[in-house]
Every structure is written in C-alpha cells, then in structure tokens.
Chain A
Amino acid sequence: MAKTVTDVICPFCGTLCDDLEIQVSDDGTRILEVYNACAIGAEKFLHSQSKDRVTRPRMQQEDGSYKEVSYDEAIEYTARMLVNAKKPLMYGWSSTSCEAQSIGHEIAEAVGGIVDNTATVCHGSSLIAIQDVGIPSCTLGEIKNRADVVVFWGCNPSHAHPRHLSRYSIFPRGFFTGKGHKGRKMIVVDPRNTDTMKMADVGLQLEQGRDYELLSALRVAFRDEELPDVVAGIRKEKIYEAAEIMKNARFGVIFFGMGVTQSLGKNHNIDIAIMVTKDLNEFTKFSIIAMRGHYNVTGSGAVLGWQFGYPFATDLSRGFARYNPGETTANDLLRRDECDAVFVLGSDPGAHFPISSVKKIARLPSVAVDPHITPTTEISKLHVPVAFVGVEVGGCCYRMDNVPIESRKVVDPPEGMMTDTEFLTRVRDRVAELKAQAPVGAPSAAEPQEA
C-alpha cells in the first residue's frame, strides 16, 4: 500500500500549481507516481529519485575530475571564498525558498556581495518598466472568476506554463465566467505560429521585433485614430478588431513573456504594454501580468524588496544597498571583471548566460549549490548538492502574481544531504567567525587564480 500526499505545490514554474497528488512508498522515501502535474512538473519530482544523483559536495581538481568532499569542507571553502573576495557575485535565488534567500542576503551583507536573481536575464526588463510606469494587475483567481478577454503576448504557455490555461486563464469556469473558455476571447501575439497561437480567436502573427509598434498601434486604435495600412506586418483591420475586443471586455488581461522582455526594445516594450493596459482602464477593467519563469523568482524579488528596496541587481559591496541595472547586473559585472568570486544557488547561469560570461565564471573561485548536475556545476570549483525545495523540504514560494504559497515536503532527501537553508546557515555562521577573527583579505586556499 502506497500513501498519497495531497495539495502538493509544484516547484517548477511561476504558475506554482498547488493541487498535485503524489504517491509515495510506505516508508516515505520513494516517489512512485505524480498526479495532476504537467510533464515538466512531474519530471522534476521523478528526477529527484534518480539513482545517479550526486549526494555529497564535489571539488573540481586540476585535471577536471571531481573529488568528493564533506559538507564541512564545502562550508569552509564557501565561507573563505566569500570573505576573501572583494566583490563576490551571489547569483540565482529563483529555485529556492524565501527563507534560503533571506539567509543568503545576510551573508551578502556581511561579505559585501552583489545579489542578483534570474530576472536579470528574464523579466528584469519588466521590473524596470514597472519602475517607469507602474503596473495595473490582479491575482490569477481574478482572471479565472472575471476575465472574458485574455491576451498572450510573446509567450507560449502551452509549452512554458502548461497548466496556466486550464487552471487560471482560458478554460476554468469561475464565479462570473460560468461558460469557461466558451465565454472568453483569446488574443495571441507572437511572430511564431505556436501551439498557443493555434488556439487563438484572434492571432496576430507580427514581424519579429516589432512589438513596440504594434502596441503603439493599439493605443492609436483605442482612440479611433487613423492607422497606416500595415503595422508590424499586421493589416490595420485586424488591429482595429483586436482593439475593439479589448475595449469591449468586461474584464481583460494581458499576459506577456520573454518574447517581449528580451527582444528588441526590452523594457520599452513592457512600458508601452503597461500603458496599453492603463488606457484600457479608461474604458473597462484591464490587468497585465508577467509570465514569470522560475517557481520562486518572484519571491526573490519580494525578499530583496523588503530587505533592501530593489527587486534584483542589488549591490551591497559598499555596505548599503545600491541598484543600477547595467552596472550591478550579473552579466555586466562578469564581463567587466568586477567580481572576484561567484556563488550560484537556485539557478543555472552556465546554461543561460552568454558564453563570454560563462567563461568568466569558469576562471573565478566559484561555488554552485544545486541538487542537479548542470552546466554551472560543471564549471564551478565546488558543487554542493542539496535537497530539492518543494520535494524534500518545504518553504515559502511566490507565484507569478506574487501570491505566497508554502511548498511541501513530500519525501526525505537522501541520507545525510543538507538543505539550502542548513547549508547557508552554516556558511553564514562561519563567515561571521572568519570576519571576527581575521582582517578581510587574508590569504587562503581560495585566492583567485590568474585570469
């Protein structure tokens, strides 16, 4: 007889589904089956069970091979690396709990580090746009209960947030939306003919990189002003049609993704998308929501916000918090050789940063804390495997609409493995000891190598 754990939170994407059911073995050590999750979410739970999982820290040797080390040695290396560095980059924080982020920030404050999260290569441009023009938004349950017009702009939830459509945005029957998807108009804007595009009532397949123009054209159309015959590759009749649907919504929403945040125009695309939403509030009720990627990147922005005042790219190297995207963002620091050590937790820059940045990480003293073997762990001097948050340990996570949900522990981690918070707490305490006994900059085994 297996037992079932219910109401499990999926620690994969920003949709943060909280209705998974997971069958575990009687002794509570093995996951047997995952119900209700999408393919990606299920894989995350099942992958934690893989036989070849690394369960102890590993130090990379001169020849590229790995030597297993104890957690104590890993803590000592990490603490010394951070204390000795003048300006360590502490990057990631998006696939871990808010408690871990909080301890990480204490360490960063103590060592004068820079804390940046994955928004830096994802929705950071959205955060900058929000700082420019604000954001009218709502929770996902509001969409479910009220929305009759749903716009997906530069995002493809069918693949990237697979249960978004069924849980919140298109299919569910809510309080004022008893007809489900039959009562909703779906507008999709994307240069690609994605699987989401194929479902659209109105599909606007625009020319790549012309989002700003099309958004601007919508603002013109809302005001019943003249448009050129074609904007961004879309005929004006189609633009007027979309504008009318949006204006006549009872309650509308725009979801947007990386297609607009990281393509030509970046934060300016989001600026004008938000202004489109604001315009629509003259006629009806409209919201706009970023399709955040990692399951707790939103939480990282929240914790950074209440502790230091900025949602990412927070430089603590002067003792107080500074924020200047372009200067204090991870890639800019790496490429300018401004940081002299790299600590990564809860992200995989090795896979997602430009190769020029990745090469810099490879040359620096570096620690990667991650349950998986990733491109980042492969280029880091030290890999510290930890328990999976949301699978083997609980903790607070923030959904893409900023709603905080406590993730659950489903099974025990492999014998003797530490969690993020345990590891960080030990590092924090060791950093405090080292700072108390030795002047900063004392030589150690973790001195940067010649670049």
Chain B
Amino acid sequence: MAEILIKNGFVFDPVTGVKGDKKDIAIRDGKIVDSVSSSAKVYDASGKTVMAGAVEIHAHVAGPKVNEGRNYRPEDKLFVNRAAESKGTRTTGGFSIPTTFKTGYSYAKMGYTVVMEAAMPPLYARHVHEEIRDTPIVDEGAFPVFGNNWFVLEYLKNNEVENTAAYISWLLRASKGYAVKIVNPGGTEAWGWGLNCLSVNDPVPYFDITPAQIVKGLIEANEYLGLPHSIHIHANNLGNPGNFSTTLDTFRLAEGYRANNRFGREQTMHHTHVQFHAYGGDSWLNFESKAPEIMDYVNSHPNLTIDTGNVTLDETTTMTADGPFEHHLTELNHLKWANVDVELETAAGIVPYVYSPNVKVCAIQWAIGLELALLARDPMRCFITTDHPNAGPFTRYPRIIKWLMSKASRDERLNTFKHADKVISATNVGGMDREITFYEIAQMTRAGPAKALGLSAMYGGLAPGMDADVVVYDINPETSFSGEEIERAFSAASLVVKTGVPVVEDGRVINNGNKRTLWVDAKVNENAQVMRDVEEKFLKFYSVNLNNYEVQGHHYIPNPFAIEVDATQ
C-alpha cells in the first residue's frame, strides 16, 4: 500500500498530547507510523489544521425508523437532491434524513471516519445492516436496544445478571450489534399499552420492575461481560420541563460501579443527548436551563460520559425508540406521527419538528446544548452530537463548533432571537466567556468518543500504530479567524484519509474507501437456561422463527470487523 506524508500542519492530538505544534504525520499500510520513505505521496498542510478522523458516538443514520422518516417526508428532499458529484459516487438527497449515500459522503467531508448508529431494533437488524452497507466510507457499528427487552426485564426482575449477560452476548451476535443501548427503560414497554415510565421508580406494567433496576442490572451485565462500550442510555422523562431531576437520579444509578474492560474505557455509563434531559421549570412558561446542575454532577463523577444533543435551529425529523415521547410530541406540535412497536423488544416513533429561533423554548434548548459543552471541565467526557436528526442534522456540526469556539458568533445568535431577553434570563450562556479550543474540539469529537467506545487503540488519535484516519482542515490556528471561517473549514475538509486511503480532497469525495462494520463478539460460558428461554420465546411469542433471526451473510456485512471479548472465565 502506498505511503503518505502529511507535512507541516498544525497538529491537534489528545492521544499524543500535541497541541498545535507543526508536525508531520506519516502513514503506511493503513496505519500511522513514525516515518515513511522518500517515495511517499506528500500533502502539504502548511498553515492548516490536522486532526485524527472524528468519531460519531450517537446518530440515527440507518434502520427502519430512519427510513420511515425518509419515505414519509418527501418535503425533506425539496431543493436538496443532487446528481452524482463525481465518477464512482452516487446521487444524493435529503436534508435532515439524508439517503445512505449522502450520509456517508457528508460525514466524510466533515472529517468523520467512524459513526455509531444509536438504536437498532434487533428484529430489524438486517435492515440496519443493509443501510450501513450502503453508507460509503465511514466505519459503522449499531447499538441494539435492551432497555425494554422482555428477556432483560424478566431476568433482571430476579437479579439474574449472568443470564442477562449471556442473553446480551447472544443478541449482540444475532444482530451483529456493538453495545448495550437503553432507551426510556421500561417506558417503551409500558407504551405497548399506551403508558409510560416517567421516573426511575415507576413500575413497568406487568413486568413489575423499575427503570432503576433495569439500568443497574444492565450496568452489572455490561461490566460482567467487559464490553468495549459502557451502557449507552437515554433516560426516562425526555423532553419534559423539570426532567433534570430524573436525569440526576439516572446518573446516580451508576455510582459504585467500576469499569471492567481491556479497552481502556473508564466510564460505566454514557448518557446521550443530555440537552433533552437538562430542563428546569414545571411548564413551557417557566422552562429553563439546568445545565449547571447537570454539569456539576458530570464534572465530579469520572464514571460518567455524556454527549450534548445540540439544537441547531433547523426544521428536522425527530425519531427515537422512546415511543411514548413521540406521541407526546405529536400532541404538542400536531405534525404527522409515525410509530412502530416491535414485539418483545422495543418501539419507535417519528415526528417532524421545527426548531424555530422565533420560539422561546427552541432557543432555550439551543442555549442548554451549548452550556453543557461550555461547562464541561473534562472535554474527554463530553462529546458533541446533535442526536442526529433529533436536535438537528449532523451536517450542522461545523456550526456548533463555530458557536463553541467563538463567543462573538454565539452572542450574535443569542442576541438576535425573537425572545432574546426571555431566553437570556432562562439560561446562562450569555454570561459564558469560554471559547473551546482546537485541542478541546479534538477531545470532544475524536479522542473522547473513541475512548468511551473502547476504540482508543484504533481511532481518535495520531499515535503510531493507530488506524490512519487523518483530516486536514483549511484553517490556520495561529492567525485570528472568524466564526464563519471555522464553520467553513470544518464543513469541507481539505483532505481526509480513511485507513490510509485518501477519500476526500478539497471537500470532494474522491474514493469510497474501505468501509467496515464493527460489532462485538462476546463469548460467555454455555448457558442452557438462556438458550432454552430463547427457544421458548421464539416458539411462542415471536412472529419469526429462531432460525430466521440471526443476521448472517456477505450481503448484509460485506466487510465485518469483530471486536472479541472473552467473558468465559
């Protein structure tokens, strides 16, 4: 394989601790190396910024609800569909829920090389994998949902952690999944009857277990197995005024557990899109930011990582396995509602949403998302997301980076909201002077999420031996730059190298790369009880046969990358 040398860029890399020094990055055979021969292809990155490929820890980019969102929103395609940009690429379309091709190209152009699909209903795993297969360039994994799964509810009701772990291992293999995702624990099962669980102590109908028991049990099972990622949770009571206390209750469930894994992960809980969970007040009238309370807890508890879920002020399409929340949302905004309840496993809902700068609540949500990042004392534990497409499309990351790096841009947006005064008094962002640095951006979008996912040996850094995912942005960190220049630079990378292959040059896709599907193969001791339970549930309650459940075959996962975990001792 060809050698590449990226010369003279200003390098920001938390893994090697390089903070903007001029440095050459050498690549051979898909890996970062110390040096290359004189025949290496040389890219001159003088006056530019160099980082590792970015890692997306939470986005809804593939699967049944994403696709229902595409199919039921032709209006999302108006004026944005484009013919293939260059030879070897495909036609693109969609704004808040882009087609798979556009998803891959758009991530790559912004310098992302790894993307995690945040919620995979196991029964629909084939669909998720077919879409992942058709998403070019980026390596992808998918998190199957466990928080409302009947096996899990039944085992954890009796504190059977080992059986839960054996079932997780089985389901990760059957669905080719990456991590244990929990969405509205217990609440989505309650939604099977049109009900919900709004606190960590609300009992789940029939199953007689609480969300707290589900979360604690899944942490124990996750650490029993030693999976690369921790549990990845979307707590109860999302989106409601005053829900920050439920969020803090959920955080506290992880207290007292220690991370057990060989991947360098330190947290035992990742809480996602915290912006949606950091609300004060008791109605939309006195709705306010509780980001300081939330971040006080996060900053003092190293067993926790979060991502932000920044509102981007766009028209978008919300979609989540939190079925009852989407019903609540359609009652609020009266836009079209799609829902799917999935037998024994989960549910999902979809509702379009317009985050208007003219609506006070939307602007407060915008502020809360930024406050979370600005209040984070450890950028290695707070990652930038939009919970794509829920708070906005992932293609707005450069704009969020602008708001975080430039107080002027942030204040300009804040002060021109229609209800600026009310927004300022309900939030804290106006008084915040912090400007996130390039190094911190590299922590929040590269090294941090890679470490939290248990992938720090491969991704998120530029140390020799790591995968050669390298990005060059056309911005000089040593000169003064405007917010607009930041947004422009992060929108279209000058160069993106993915596992040693240049895939983007001057903001254009030049190669479809060597995409891989990441999944976790966790081995456990043979567990006759769990296998009997699996057989029984399929025989009696599933609508498909057990032998037709597992995702197998080249046409679903043409290029698998299995991360092995051994929990047999």
Interface residues of B (CB under 8 A from A): 62, 64, 66-68, 70-74, 76-77, 81-84, 90-94, 97, 99-101, 123-124, 126-127, 130-131, 134, 150, 191-194, 206, 327, 330, 336-344, 347, 350-351, 540-545, 547-548, 552-553, 555-556
- Is A316 an interface residue, CB under 8 A from the partner? yes
A133 CA / B330 CA spacing, docked (Å): 11
Tell me, yes or no, whether A66 is within 8 Å of chain B by CB.
Answer: no
Q: Closest Cβ of chain A: how far from B334's Cβ, in Å?
A: 10
Instruction: Give the shortest distance, in Å, between A348 (CB) and chain B (any CB).
Output: 25
B-side contacts of A398, CB under 8 Å: 127
Question: Does A319 make an interface contact (CB < 8 A)?
Answer: yes
Residue A366 at the B interface, CB < 8 A?
no
A83-91, A203-211, A278-286, A371-379 - the one binding chain B? A278-286
| Distance in Å: Cβ of B123 to nearest Cβ of chain A | 6
Q: Please tell me which stretch of A51-59, A134-142, A227-235, A259-267 contacts chain B, meaning at least 4 of its Cβ atoms lie within 8 angstroms of it.
A: A134-142
A98 to B130, Cβ gap below 8 A? yes
A285 / chain B contacts, CB cutoff of 8 Å = 191-194
Across the interface, do A135 and B194 meet the contact criterion of CB distance under 8 Å? no
Which residue from B194, B338, B340, B541 sits with its C-beta under 8 Å from A144?
Answer: B541
Query: Who on chain B is nearest to A20 by CB?
Result: B545
B76 in contact with A309 (CB, 8 Å):
yes
Interface residues of A in 166-194 (CB under 8 A from B): 167-168, 174-176
Q: Which residues of B contact A130 (CB under 8 A)?
A: 71-72, 336, 338
CA distance A51 to B311 in the complex (A): 64
Contact A168 B339 (CB under 8 A): no
Chain B residues with CB under 8 A of A396: 126, 130, 555-556
Whether B541 pairs with A175 at a CB distance below 8 angstroms is yes
8 chain-A/chain-B pairs, Cβ below 8 angstroms? A137-B340, A138-B347, A141-B344, A284-B194, A307-B99, A320-B81, A404-B130, A405-B544
Residues of A within 8 A of B544 (CB): 18, 141, 403, 405
CA distance A302 to B74 in the complex (A): 14
B548: which of A7, A145, A281 is its contact (CB, 8 Å)? A7
Distance in angstroms from B541 CB to nearest chain A CB is 5
- Is A294 part of the contact surface with B, judged by Cβ < 8 Å? no
Q: Nearest chain-B residue to A7 (Cβ)? A: B547
In the bound complex, what is the Cα–Cα distance between A19 and B193 (angstroms)? Answer: 29
Contact string against B for A residues 296-327, beta-carbon threshold 8 Å, 1 for contact and 0 otherwise: 00000111011111110000101111110000
B543 to A135, Cβ gap below 8 A?
Answer: no
Task: Produce 1/0 per residue, A75-99, CB < 8 A to B.
Answer: 0000000000000000000000011
Q: Which of A131, A175, A307 lies in contact with B73, CB distance below 8 A?
A: A131
Number of residues on chain A facing chain B (CB within 8 A): 64
Task: Please state if B555 and A140 are interface contacts (CB–CB under 8 Å).
Answer: no
Find out whether the CB atom of A139 lies under 8 angstroms from the CB atom of B543: yes
User: B92 to chain A: which residues have CB within 8 Å?
Assistant: 320
In whole angstroms, how far apart are the Cα atoms of A44 and B543 in the complex? 22
Complex Cα spacing A307 to B101, Å: 7
Q: Is the CB of A320 within 8 A of B339?
A: no
CB pair A306–B100 under 8 Å, yes or no, is yes
**A287 interface hit (Cβ, 8 Å):** yes
**Interfacial chain B residues near A320, Cβ < 8 Å:** 81-83, 91-93
- A403-B544, A405-B544 given as contacts; is B340 within 8 A of A316 (CB)? no
Report B-chain residues with C-beta under 8 Å of the C-beta of A139: 123, 340-343, 543
Instruction: List the A residue with the shortest CB-CB distance to B75.
Output: A131
Interface: A158 (CB within 8 A):
no
Is B83's CB under 8 angstroms from A145's CB?
Answer: no
The smallest C-beta distance from B153 to any residue of chain A, in angstroms, reads 12
* Complex Cα gap A310–B99 (Å): 10
Interface centre among B73, B82, B544 (most CB of A within 10 A): B544
Q: Is the CB of B337 within 8 A of A308?
A: no
Taken together as a complex, chains A and B put the C-alpha atoms of A98 and B556 apart, in Å, by 11
Q: Once bound together, how far apart are the Cα atoms of A287 and B131, in whole Å?
A: 26
> What 5 A-B pairs come out closest when comparing CB atoms?
A141-B343, A319-B83, A134-B336, A141-B543, A138-B341
| C-alpha gap A84/B44 in the complex (Å) | 45
Smallest Cβ distance from A147 to chain B, in angstroms?
11
Instruction: Flag whether A406 is at the interface (Cβ < 8 A).
Output: yes
User: Is A26 interfacial (CB 8 A cutoff)?
Assistant: no
Which parts of A403-434 form the interface with B (CB within 8 Å)?
403-406
Inter-chain contact A136/B337, CB cutoff 8 Å: yes
For the complex, give the distance between the alpha carbons of A278 and B150 in Å. Answer: 26
Interface residues of A in 233-269 (CB under 8 A from B): 250-251
A9 within 8 A of B: yes
A25 at the interface (CB under 8 A from B): no
User: Which A residues lie within 8 Å of B337 (CB)?
Assistant: 134, 136, 278
Give Cα A285 to B340, complex, Å. 12
> Which chain A residues border B67 with CB–CB below 8 Å?
302, 305-306
Complex CA distance for A134 and B67, rounded to whole angstroms: 13
Q: Closest residue of chain B to A109, judged by CB?
A: B91
Interface residue A216 (Cβ < 8 Å from any Cβ of B): no
Judge whether A321 and B540 touch: CB under 8 Å: no
Point out which of A137, A168, A285, A316 has the most chain B C-beta atoms below 10 A from its C-beta. Answer: A285
Contacts of A9 in B (CB 8 A): 548
- Hey, which chain B residues are within 8 Å of A301, CB to CB? 71
A145 to B344, CA, bound (A): 9
Question: Which of A136, A167, A175, A302 contacts B540 (CB under 8 A)?
Answer: A175
Does A201 sit at the interface, judged by CB under 8 A?
A: no
Chain A residues whose CB sits within 8 angstroms of the CB of B101 once the complex forms: 307
**Known A-B contacts A7-B547, A7-B548; A251 and B99 likewise in contact (beta carbons under 8 Å):** no
Interface residue? A73 (CB, 8 A): no
Beta-carbon contact of A167 and B71 below 8 Å? no
Task: Establish whether residues A309 and B131, one from each chain, have CB atoms under 8 Å apart when the complex forms.
Answer: no
Chain B residue contacts of A303, Cβ below 8 A: 130
Known interface pairs A309-B97, A316-B91, A320-B91; 17 further A-B residue pairs with C-beta atoms within 8 A, sorted by A's residue number: A134-B72, A135-B339, A138-B340, A138-B342, A144-B343, A145-B344, A307-B90, A307-B134, A309-B74, A309-B94, A310-B74, A319-B83, A319-B84, A322-B81, A396-B126, A403-B124, A404-B126
* A131 surroundings in chain B (CB, below 8 A): 71-74, 336
A323-B564 Cα distance, complex, nearest whole Å: 44
* Interface pair B338/A135, CB less than 8 Å apart: yes
Q: How far is the CA of A37 from the CA of B73 in the complex (A)?
A: 37
Give the residues in chain B near A146, CB-CB below 8 Å: 192-193
- Kindly state whether residue A4 has any CB partner on chain B within 8 Å: no
Contact A141 B71 (CB under 8 A): no
Min CB distance B550 to A, Å, is 9
Q: How far is the CA of A109 from the CA of B72 in the complex (A)?
A: 22
- Neighbour of B543 across the interface among A98, A137, A168, CB < 8 A: A168
* Contact of A109 with B194 in the complex, beta carbons under 8 Å: no
Chain B CB within 10 A, most for which of A109, A167, A250, A401: A401
Q: How far is the CA of A141 from the CA of B548 in the complex (A)?
A: 15
B-chain residues with CB within 8 Å of residue A395 when the two chains form the complex: 555
**What's the minimum C-beta distance from B92 to chain A, rounded to whole angstroms?**
8
The answer to whether A402 touches B91 (Cβ under 8 A) is: no
User: Are B130's CB and A308's CB within 8 A?
Assistant: no
A308–B338 CB distance below 8 A: no
Judged by a CB distance under 8 angstroms, whether A102 is at the interface is yes
Nearest A residue to B537 via CB reads A175
